[in-house]
Amino acid sequence: MTVGVDLGGTKIQTVALRGMKVVGSARVPTPQSGVAENVIQAIAGTIHVALRQAGTDAAALSGVGIGSPGEIDAAEGVVRQAGNVPGFSGSIKLGPLLARALGGGVKVKLENDVRVGVLGEHRAGAGRPYKNMLGVWLGTGVGGGLILDGELHDGRGAAGEIGHVVVKPGGRRCGCGRRGCLEAYAGRARMERRAHKLVRRGQKTVLFEIMRKQGKPRVTSGVYTRALKQGDELTKQLLADAAWALSIALSSAQNLLDLEAIVVGGGLGEELGQPFIDRVVKQMAPHLFADDHPPVVLPTELGDLSGAVGAALLADEA
């Protein structure tokens, strides 16, 4: 029995896994006190709930995996600069602290949140049939993970950053400070910034009105789809740009790697789903070098559980 935790800025999603089967799960809002210890206690709480659902307790636990934002030092179990998790902007010894909160003795493994999601989809989701695949996660930013020859490929620790493939030299400013990255066009935060800019230039949109009505502090994925249903032109334009940028970045990745599959996940990816994927696929076609042998492009199967499932699987690996 292993447990996987998907730690995010707004929620903590935990699953208990026996083999490839989810036998328990728990989800709580991430404590917003700004104290890391509260977040760690909340994680431990979800683990106890998930184990109880699975009819067991911490004594049966062979390992815990955590997918976390920020920079991961897997060897030390340390997370750094996970700024969107309250209390995690510095350096947090998440691994050892959680092991202690669970009573000690349990092994805790850390990995990048997107990579565990991609691993989850590869081992237990849409990517099961494939040995070589790329996961592209559309969320606040655009993250990615590579599975090559059946294994997560992290290079020297930073591989998979499809979000920072250059789709337009000198193009839009990205959250990373550079210009023309995929994320500048297909990441939610940069799309929202672009929307503000277009409004300042005089364009109309229902995006911010929907956002306020739904009581959201941000233009969430759901806000985009709602605006789209209302035929909002500015939203159409933002999503057209995102699809275009994805088609460039994914084609380049495909020409370089000759992948079998590309899995599109993340909050925004899940929300936009198959119609958006179909559009990206169509625009990729003219850029594919081995055009008689395109990759399959798929939505996730595990949805918002892919991160937690991947983290649990990671806990089981050497």
Q: Is 240 in the site for a copy of itself (CB under 8 A)?
A: no
Judged by CB under 8 A, the residue of 74, 166, 234, 296 near a copy of itself is: 166
β-strand partners of 7? 12
For residue 169, state whether it binds a copy of itself (rule: CB under 8 A). yes
Assess contact for 7 and 68: CB atoms under 8 A: yes
Task: Write the secondary structure of 284-305 as one string of H (helix), E (strand) and C (coil).
Answer: HHHHCCCCCCCCEEEECCCHHH
Q: How far is the CB of 69 from a copy of itself (least distance, A)?
A: 15
Q: Which residues on neighbouring strands pair with residue 12, listed in sequence order? A: 7, 28
Residue 112 binds a copy of itself, judged by CB under 8 A: no
- Answer yes or no: are the C-beta atoms of 6 and 308 closer than 8 Å: yes
Q: Considering the complex, what minimum distance in angstroms separates the CB of residue 75 from a copy of itself? A: 17
Select from 91, 287, 296, 316 the one that contacts a copy of itself (CB under 8 A).
Answer: 287
212 Cβ contact list (under 8 Å, min separation 6): none
155 part of the interface to a copy of itself, by CB under 8 A: yes
> Taking CB under 8 A as the rule, does residue 152 contact a copy of itself?
no
154 near a copy of itself, judged by CB under 8 A = yes
Choose, by CB under 8 A, the member of 213, 290, 303, 317 that binds a copy of itself: 290
Which of 252, 265, 279, 306 contacts a copy of itself by CB under 8 A?
Answer: 252
In whole angstroms, how close is the CB of 78 to a copy of itself at the nearest point?
18
202 binds a copy of itself (CB under 8 A): no
Instruction: Tell me which stretch binds a copy of itself (CB under 8 A): 73-81, 116-124, 155-163, 235-243.
Output: 155-163
In this complex, which beta carbon is closest to a copy of itself, that of residue 79 or of residue 211? 79
Tally Cβ neighbours within 10 Å of residue 52: 13
Residue with tokens 């998907």: 6
Closer Cβ to a copy of itself, 60 or 290, answer by number: 290
| CB nearer a copy of itself, residue 36 or residue 134 | 134
Q: Encoding tokens for residue 231?
A: 């035929």
Q: Is position 253 an interface residue for a copy of itself (rule: CB under 8 A)?
A: yes
Complex with a copy of itself: residue 4 or 160, whichever CB lies closer: 160
Binding piece for a copy of itself, criterion CB under 8 A, among 101-109, 184-192, 220-228, 254-262:
254-262
Residue 41: CB atoms within 10 A of its CB come to 14
Helix ranges restricted to H, the chain: 36-53, 94-101, 113-124, 183-186, 188-200, 207-213, 221-229, 233-257, 266-284, 306-316
> Does residue 293 touch a copy of itself according to CB under 8 A?
yes
Residue from the set 258, 278, 303, 317 that interacts with a copy of itself by CB under 8 A:
258
| Phi, psi (degrees; rounded to nearest 5) at 116 | -65, -35
Instruction: Kindly provide the b/e burial profile for residues 118-149, where b requires at least 16 CB atoms within 10 angstroms of the residue's own CB.
Output: bbbbbbbbbbeebebbbbbbbbbbbbbbbbee
**Least distance from a copy of itself to the Cβ atom of residue 256, Å:** 6
The distance of closest approach from Cβ of residue 188 to a copy of itself in the complex, given in angstroms and rounded to an integer, is 19
Q: DSSP for 98-164, please give it.
A: HHHHTTS---EEEEEHHHHHHHHHHHHSTTTT-SSEEEEEESSSEEEEEEETTEEE-TTTTTT-GGG
Residues 170, 268: Cα–Cα separation, whole Å: 25
Between 24 and 135, name the residue whose CB sits nearer to a copy of itself: 135
Binding site for a copy of itself (CB under 8 A): 132, 144, 146, 148-149, 153-162, 164-169, 176, 178, 244, 248-249, 251-253, 255-260, 286-287, 289-290, 293
